[in-house]
Amino acid sequence: MLETVVVADRERKRALSVSAQVPRLKGRDTVTAVTTTASLARHRKRGVALEDAIHDAVFAELSEVGYAAFTIEAVAARAKTGKASIYRRWDTKQDLVLDAFVARFGGPDDIVSELLDDADAPTRDLLVRLATRICELSDEAGEVMRAVACESTRDPELAAAVEEKVHRPKLAAIVELLQRGVDRGEVRPEAVCGVYADVLPAMLTYRVVLNNQPVTEQDAVDIVDRVLMPLISTQRP
C-alpha cells in the first residue's frame, strides 16, 4: 500500500513538472513569433515601394515564363509580399500586367499628351518622336510585349483588356495628334481616322512582335518620312 502511494506521488510530481514547463515554452515561442512578425512588418514594403516591387516582379516573371504560365502567386513571391496585397489592387492578372506596363512606360494617351504640349513642333517631328518612343519601349519591354501580344490571340479576356486599355487609347491619341496637324494645315482632313492612325504603330509592332527585330531611331524616321507623311501630308508629292 505504501509503495503504491509513493509511486502515485512520484507520477503526480512528474506531471506537475511537465505542466510547469509548457507555459514557459509557449511564452518563449510567443515572444519569438512576435519579434519575427515585428521585424517583418518593419521591412515590409508599402505604398509606392510595394507597387514598384510588384511591377518589377511582373516584368521579371513575364520575361522568364511568358504570359500563359504567369501567376499571381509567382509575382507575390518575387515581390516578397502576399497574394492579398496584390488582389487588393488588381482583380485579375490581365489588370496587373497591363497596369504594370502603363505604370512603367506611360499609357498611349499620356505619351501623346506630352508631345502635344509642344505647341510649336511640326506634325512630322511629333510623329518621329512618337515612333522613337515606341522604339524605346521595344528595347526595354520587347519580351513582355511579345508575350502579351501572342497570348492575346488565345486568351479572349486578355485580348479585350488590351483593346480597352492599350489599343483604343492609342488610336484616340494618334487621331488627336493628326487632328492637330489638320488645324496647322499640315495634314489632310480625310487622314484623321483609324486607318492612318494605325500605320505607324502597326509597322513598328510588326517588326518588334512578329519579326523579333530591333527597331532603331533611323527606322522610326524612315517609316514616318517615307510611308506615313506621304499618306497624310497636305504637301503631296
Give residue-wise pLDDT tens across range 134-177: 877 777 677 777 788 888 888 898 888 888 888 888 888 899 99
Contact by Cβ (8 Å): 115, 200: no
Q: Tell me whether residue 137 is exposed, middle or buried, using C-beta atoms within 10 angstroms of its C-beta: 0 to 12, 13 to 18, 19 or more.
A: buried
Question: Percent of the chain at pLDDT above 70?
Answer: 79
Confidence (pTM): 0.69
Between 66 and 228, whose confidence is greater? 228
Measured from the Cβ of residue 57, the count of other Cβ atoms closer than 10 Å reads 21
pLDDT value at residue 42: 44
Q: What is the mean pLDDT of residues 73-82?
A: 94
Q: What is the pLDDT of residues 189-198, one digit of tens each?
A: 999 999 999 9
Mean pLDDT of 73-86: 93
- pLDDT at position 212, please? 77
Residue 187, strand partner residues: 233
Q: How far apart are CA 208 and CA 148, in angstroms?
A: 12
Identify which has the larger pLDDT, 37 or 69. Answer: 69
**Residue 30 — pLDDT band, cuts 50, 70, 90?**
very low
**Nearest residue to 143 (alpha-carbon basis) of 33, 47, 20, 61:** 61
Average pLDDT, the chain: 80
SS3 164: helix
Reduced to 3 states, what is the DSSP secondary structure of residue 189? helix
Average pLDDT over residues 47-62: 89
**171: nearest Cα among 152, 196, 188:** 196
pLDDT digit string (tens) for 88-140?
A: 999 888 889 888 888 877 777 777 888 888 889 999 999 999 888 887 777 76
